[in-house]
């Protein structure tokens, strides 16, 4: 047990790398420790207190998320003291929260209720029944519901440390500590870019997507998540379409977009306003869903892909024959993936023999 890269966690020997915290080491080994304010993209603050563990030789319980692992450290994560701490702590959180999980989890699942359920046997406290003023904000995407906020400041730190935008802050003091923009202005009037990262990192659904809530969409845990690549630009951010299979008369509908976990390549769970919120084009009536060909009558008519491709190929070939390949130019879209863009230049250079190829994000 004196190896320079080992710690003892509940009688299990774990290896750690230099710079790792107790939490890093335990998570890598697959042990679960409760956390609320932690996010691997953020500097640890140790504020929510849910990850406190007993470290031999330390009088006080220590936050695993903020305490560096050191050689030979002996850690208890499930003894009576730690479990009692977790139970009373969570009961305190719940006394100042939307107590009924089904009411609380109308949108995103609540990590607080999940931890309470896992742990069980919580003391039942009398709810504090704090009055909350609903806050209207005219931005169309993000809603803040303060009665669900546990002041973990994940949203604030994300906005600051990951986005570098600093649109929101912790305000007030004591029990009145909550989240706000400068002087409570609309996100629209702040430096906010509406990336929705605050919604993603919020553990309790206090920062929430407006559109599914106002549309009365099913709670997130009843939706099916379909991992896909955002097609708004070539970065290739991964995202999860949240699909309600039963909606739209059984045709299914994308109800919202959520982030994959932090650490997912290439975008680490981050999205921009388009990826996260501009998904309503999917079912928009104006959206083209079949090719259209102009008929002899001068109007556009739905056509099959075969017919459309044939007409396109014929047109291109005709121009090349008449005026030479350099009379053609191929411009592809920034919304195409890198692979698709590669194929366009292949088509241009190898098939038609022209270097007139461009992509709208290339400048």
Question: Of 57, 321, 98, 337, nearest to 205 (Cα)?
Answer: 98
Report the nearest approach of other proteins to the CB of residue 145 (Å). 18
Q: Do 205 and 109 touch, CB atoms closer than 8 A?
A: yes
Q: Do 299 and 253 touch, CB atoms closer than 8 A?
A: no
Query: What, of other proteins, ligand FES, none, does residue 177 touch, CB below 5 to 8 Å by kind?
Result: other proteins
Question: Of 118, 115, 116, 145, nearest to 132 (Cα)?
Answer: 145
Q: Is 46 in the site for ligand FES (CB under 6 A)?
A: yes
Binding to ligand FES (CB under 6 A) within 51-80 occurs at 51, 63, 65
Query: What, of ligand FES, other proteins, none, does residue 165 touch, CB below 5 to 8 Å by kind?
Result: other proteins
Binding to ligand FES (CB under 6 A) within 16-35 occurs at 35
Q: What is the total count of residues that contact ligand FES (CB under 6 A)?
A: 12
Binding ligand FES (rule: CB under 6 A), the pick from 22, 36, 42, 241 is 36
Q: Is 99 in the site for ligand FES (CB under 6 A)?
A: no
Query: What, of other proteins, ligand FES, none, does residue 150 touch, CB below 5 to 8 Å by kind?
Result: other proteins
Report the nearest approach of ligand FES to the CB of residue 64 (Å). 6
Binding region for other proteins (CB under 8 A) = 41, 43, 46-49, 52, 60-61, 63, 66, 81, 84-85, 88-89, 92-93, 95-96, 123, 125-126, 128, 150-151, 157, 160-162, 164-177, 180-183, 185, 190-191
Cβ neighbour number for residue 29 with a 10 Å cutoff: 14
Nearer to ligand FES, 67 or 341 (CB): 67
Token couple for 135: 């806050």
Nearer to ligand FES, 9 or 271 (CB): 9
Query: What, of ligand FES, other proteins, none, does residue 43 touch, CB below 5 to 8 Å by kind?
Result: other proteins
State how far the Cα of 317 lies from the Cα of 325, in Å rounded to an integer: 9
The site string for ligand FES over 226-255 (x = CB under 6 A, - otherwise) reads ------------------------------
Report the nearest approach of ligand FES to the CB of residue 179 (Å). 16
Query: What, of ligand FES, other proteins, none, does residue 167 touch, CB below 5 to 8 Å by kind?
Result: other proteins
State how far the Cα of 163 lies from the Cα of 155, in Å rounded to an integer: 11
Nearer to ligand FES, 50 or 359 (CB): 50
Nearer to other proteins, 49 or 225 (CB): 49
Q: Is 50 in the site for ligand FES (CB under 6 A)?
A: yes
Give the burial string for 107-123 (b: 16+ CB within 10 Å, else e).
Answer: bbbbbbbebbeeeeebe
Place of tokens 């990336």: 195
Binding ligand FES (rule: CB under 6 A), the pick from 8, 29, 49, 328 is 49
Nearer to ligand FES, 97 or 256 (CB): 97
Report the nearest approach of ligand FES to the CB of residue 129 (Å). 25
The three state secondary structure string of 107-144 is: CCCCHHHHHHHHHCCCCCCCCCCCCCCCCCCCCCCEEE
Query: What, of ligand FES, other proteins, none, does residue 207 touch, CB below 5 to 8 Å by kind?
Result: none
State how far the Cα of 113 lies from the Cα of 96, in Å rounded to an integer: 12
Report the nearest approach of ligand FES to the CB of residue 178 (Å). 18
Query: What, of ligand FES, other proteins, none, does residue 212 touch, CB below 5 to 8 Å by kind?
Result: none
Q: Which residues bind ligand FES (CB under 6 A)?
A: 35-38, 46-51, 63, 65
């Amino acid at each position: 047990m004196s190896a320079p890269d080992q710690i003892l966690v509940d009688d299990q020997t774990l290896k750690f790398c230099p710079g790792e915290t107790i939490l890093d080491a335990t998570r890598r080994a697959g042990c679960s420790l409760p956390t609320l304010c932690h996010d691997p993209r953020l500097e640890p603050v140790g504020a929510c207190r849910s990850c406190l563990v007993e470290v031999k030789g330390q009088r006080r319980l220590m936050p695993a998320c903020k305490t560096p692992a050191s050689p030979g450290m002996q850690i208890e994560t499930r003894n009576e003291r730690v479990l009692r701490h977790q139970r009373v702590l969570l009961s305190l959180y719940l006394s100042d929260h939307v107590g009924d999980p089904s009411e609380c989890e109308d949108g995103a699942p609540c990590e607080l209720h999940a931890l309470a359920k896992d742990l069980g046997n919580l003391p039942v406290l009398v709810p504090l029944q704090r009055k909350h003023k609903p806050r209207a904000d005219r931005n169309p995407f993000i809603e803040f519901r303060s009665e669900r906020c546990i002041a973990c400041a994940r949203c604030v730190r994300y906005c600051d440390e990951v986005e570098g935008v600093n649109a929101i802050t912790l305000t007030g003091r004591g029990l009145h500590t909550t989240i706000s923009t400068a002087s409570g202005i609309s996100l629209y009037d702040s430096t906010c870019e509406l990336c929705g990262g605050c919604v993603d990192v919020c553990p309790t659904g206090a920062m929430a997507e407006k559109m599914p809530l106002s549309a009365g969409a099913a709670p997130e845990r009843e939706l099916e998540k379909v991992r896909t690549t955002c097609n708004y630009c070539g970065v290739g951010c991964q995202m999860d379409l949240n699909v309600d299979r039963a909606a739209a008369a059984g045709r299914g509908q994308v109800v919202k977009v959520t982030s994959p976990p932090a650490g997912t390549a290439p975008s680490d769970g981050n999205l921009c306003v388009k990826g996260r919120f501009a998904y309503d084009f999917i079912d928009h009536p104006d959206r083209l869903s079949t090719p259209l060909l102009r008929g002899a009558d001068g109007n556009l008519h739905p056509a099959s892909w075969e017919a459309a491709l044939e007409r396109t190929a014929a047109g291109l070939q005709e121009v090349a024959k008449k005026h030479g390949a350099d009379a053609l130019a191929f411009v592809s879209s920034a919304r195409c993936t890198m692979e698709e863009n590669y194929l366009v230049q292949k088509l241009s250079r190898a098939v038609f023999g022209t270097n007139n190829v461009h992509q709208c994000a290339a400048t």
